[in-house]
Amino acid sequence: MDIMEEMETGTGGSISMEETQKIFDKGSKTGWRCSSMDLKGHLFHMLDNSIMSDMTFLVGESKDSVPAHRFLLVLWSKVFEEMPDTVEIPEMSVAALRSFLKFLYTEEFEVSAEDLMPVLCAAKRFEIPLLAAKCVSVLKSEIKDSTSVSMYQAAKLLQEETLAEESLNYILRQVNTNGSAVVQEEDFLLITNDNLNFLLERDDFEVEELELFQAACKWAQKECEKQEIEATPDNQRLVLKGTLKNIRFPLMSSKDFAVHVAPTEILQDKEMISLLIQYSIPASERAGLPLLAHGFTDRERKNKEPPKKRAKTGRASFPDVLKPSVVLTLDGDEKKGDDSAVTSNGVSSPTPGSLGVGGDWRNPMAGLKFNLMSMYENHYNSDVVFVIGEQREKVFGHKFILALWSAVFEQMFQARSDSDEPIEIMNFNPSGFRSFLKVLYTENFDVSVEQVMNVFFIAKTYDVAFLGDKCVSLLKSSVGDNTSISIFQAAKVLGDDSLADIAWSYILRRGFAVVKEMDFLNISYTNLCTLLEQDDLNVGETEMWQSLLRWGSNELEKQSLDKNADNLRQLLTKAIALIRFPLMSVKDFSLHVAPTDLLSDKEMVGVLVYYSLPPSERANAYRLSFNSKERKIQSVLVRERISLCNLSLMSDRPVSILGFSFSGLDATKIGYAPTSLYLYNSKKGVSYATSYTEINVAPEGKDRFSVKFKMPITIRPNEWYISSEMTLQGRQGASSIEKETWATVKNRQADVNFQFQVHPVKDNSGVFEYAVPEVIFNLL
């Protein structure tokens, strides 16, 4: 069954053409899908307007609702597979989550500075390394005095070692150039005790000890406030733990110690006594004193070695300001203080840093389109099955992708929301439907010319605008002798007037070739009769008659009827009446029409009487029932270029060129323009010219003629000669060379080899310049 039959019958299947049309009429009114919107635009519109969403995030303390689509999220990470339909993320803002989702839907990275860290945390937790890498890249440029400490801590917790190293190096550089700027920032108060000790232990952390002590006291007061305990000296010492031992009190002046440290009462009396005694002894005499046994070091912070990379250590918690832990609250039960989250089916979601299981089809760094392509023809997470064509082949799909591009599919799925049964569609062939789906999944229009008609029909049926436009573009460039009929009829059925006009114009212009092709047998009887009515159909009446008989014979075979004159006459009654028999020659009528017995005796008499009259008296011929009006064949005298200027030739022996022989033009209707024809020796720069108007144009049989020089031209062996251009007028040739061609021709009789190089060029009228098929020569 050809594509036109499929389009016109529409039989079988649970989704008929009538049902699809009803859905089309309803679905196409949605309007937001358009051919100018690309894949990412469609995806973001689905997100922004909650179309067919099947997941909801409840964000922040107010539990603001943010809808999403599981299919799209699963493309990026298998973590989302195990999540319930409703997920609470109290520690993330709506703005941060929308930035996170926008990247997943469009790969557009639009994250504000304040949302960078929350988005990075989400990317790490949900195992989306591509987004995490983009966050880290931007965060590196955001490192400054007010963020460097919290940036370092977050990077360590999230195991982003490059970001951690960049942050640490920034801190060390700043204290070397700007003293205490970093430790005086509010950001420093967010540091963990572990990281505070790590910095104080470093010899290259060059901050005055008094400033470090004061910063440690502020940190301790803040920590007491967080733990809801009174900031007494004992409690501050308690939260500082071993931090005091890393402050190098001996490097302070005795005055600073007495004025700023002692009054805080954070140090114990024995520690105070030890340090005060040290201050009373000259620095050069302190070495080895047992009074330093309390653990305070007096080593100077002047080590200029590169910053040391600290070994990975566990972190008990994340700074409150960053709020990295995305706590999933399910069914009203909130789980806190744990990096894992239990889903509704009891399975724990992966913790940060745990990567996908081996064999996962996703490529974490390839991006949206690659992973979307992986879902094409993938049973994984498929939620719709089509049974296609008479072969009843199963094709798996995903409702989200189909609804993304087609309002018709969206309405269809909504109408069948309670049914999981396969959707049977008998109007399409499986290979065409798969090609259609592949474009929807990949946005890559890789459709063969053989399949484009099927894909075009499916795209128009389901109102996929961008794909329909691409098919039309390909079909316009594919209109040819053996495709124009099918393309015209498909365009008419699907209401694409622009494509129909192009194909119809081609059929009229190239009718003499179109009617000889197999595609002509696909024309409907209605369109066949319409074609025969056209005055500007470029085909001879004899050729048209023969093609009509071929069409009729094929139609009888399709209808399983006997191929006899009666059946053929009954089938072709209207078409026969439209053939302009008076335009045939008497010979053609006698040889090709009379023997068929398809004309009645009355009709035969009318035509034969017409032939017997002089042309001036034929207007009122007796009993003539056929149209005698000449068809306006536009291309009989169209300028056709036979381009010798694009021909180079060389022989391996000296020869005398007499002229050239051509094929593909009607030799009885040749004309020529006054120009010159010559051969040019590219090596020697010599032209051999003769007047074109004196060239003899001699017919040599059907569609063949020769053009000869007035005087023969001698060419030397193994030298390239280039021909000039001449222009002939006549019917368009039967074939042309459309690619650059090299050829070597051996004339066995003369024992000479010719080499040709042809460079076809298309002129402004769209006519190909033709090649020279034969050289007329004498061997010297």
Reported as a pLDDT band with limits 50, 70 and 90, residue 315 is very low
Residue 49 has pLDDT above 60, yes or no: yes
Poorest-confidence range of 12-26, 222-236, 653-667?
Answer: 12-26
- Cα separation, 380 vs 372, whole angstroms: 12
- Domains and their CATH numbers in the chain: 3-40+371-502 (3.30.710.10), 208-300 (no CATH), 541-620 (no CATH), 639-779 (2.60.120)
Q: 418: burial class by Cβ within 10 Å (0-12, 13-18, 19+)? A: exposed
What are residue 570's DSSP bridge partners? none
What is the pLDDT confidence band of residue 556, given thresholds at 50, 70 and 90?
very high
Q: What is the mean pLDDT of residues 667-689?
A: 48
| Token pair recorded at residue 562 | 């006997």
Q: pLDDT higher for 774 or 486?
A: 486
Q: Point out the least confidently predicted range of 285-289, 504-508, 570-574, 592-596.
A: 285-289
| Most confident residue range from 54-68, 292-306, 346-360, 364-378 | 54-68
Distance CA 352, CA 181 (A): 33
Q: Which residue has the higher pLDDT, 285 or 250?
A: 250
Mean pLDDT of 711-735: 59
Determine which of 255-264, 690-699, 704-713, 719-728 has the lowest per-residue pLDDT on average.
Answer: 690-699
The mean per-residue pLDDT over the stretch 539-562 comes to 92
Q: How far apart, in Å, are the Cα atoms of 429 and each of 1, 39, 203, 386, 457?
A: 10, 26, 75, 12, 11
Q: 349 or 426: whose pLDDT is higher? A: 426
CB 777 within 8 A of CB 659: no
* From 29-43, 50-64, 534-548, the region with the lowest mean pLDDT: 29-43
Question: Do the Cβ atoms of 224 and 230 come closer than 8 Å?
Answer: yes
- Please state the rounded mean pLDDT for residues 726-748: 42
Return the beta strands (E) in 349-479 as ranges.
384-388, 393-397, 423-425
Cβ neighbours around 405 below 10 Å, total? 24
- How large a percentage of the chain has pLDDT more than 70? 71
How many other C-beta atoms are found inside a 10 Å radius of the C-beta of residue 366?
12
Range of 376-380, 529-533, 724-728, 747-751 with top mean pLDDT: 529-533
Q: How far apart are CA 764 and CA 780, in angstroms?
A: 41
Displacement of CA 639 from its chain's centroid (Å): 42
Across all residues in the chain, what is the average pLDDT?
Answer: 74
How confident is the model at residue 58, as a pLDDT? 92
Of 1, 16, 23, the C-alpha closest to 425 is 16
Residue 300, pLDDT score: 82
The residue-averaged pLDDT of 222-246 equals 90
pLDDT of residue 705: 62
Q: For 723, phi and psi rounded to 5 degrees?
A: -85, 155
Question: For residue 681, what pLDDT band results from cuts at 50, 70 and 90?
Answer: low
Q: What does the pLDDT read at residue 232?
A: 93
More confident residue, 3 or 31: 31
Q: What is the pTM of this model?
A: 0.53
- Res. 294: pLDDT tops 70: no
Is the pLDDT confidence value at 525 over 90? yes
Question: pLDDT per residue over 171-196, tens digit each?
Answer: 888 777 766 778 888 888 888 888 88
> Residue with structure tokens 């650059």?
740
Length of the chain: 780
* Cα→Cα distances 425→28, 197, 386, 402, 452, Å: 20, 70, 7, 15, 19
User: Alpha carbon of 479 to those of 252, 465, 490: distances in Å?
Assistant: 91, 21, 12
* Percent of the chain whose pLDDT exceeds 90: 15
What pLDDT, on the 0 to 100 scale, is given for residue 286?
67
Q: Where are the beta strands (DSSP E) in 225-323?
A: none
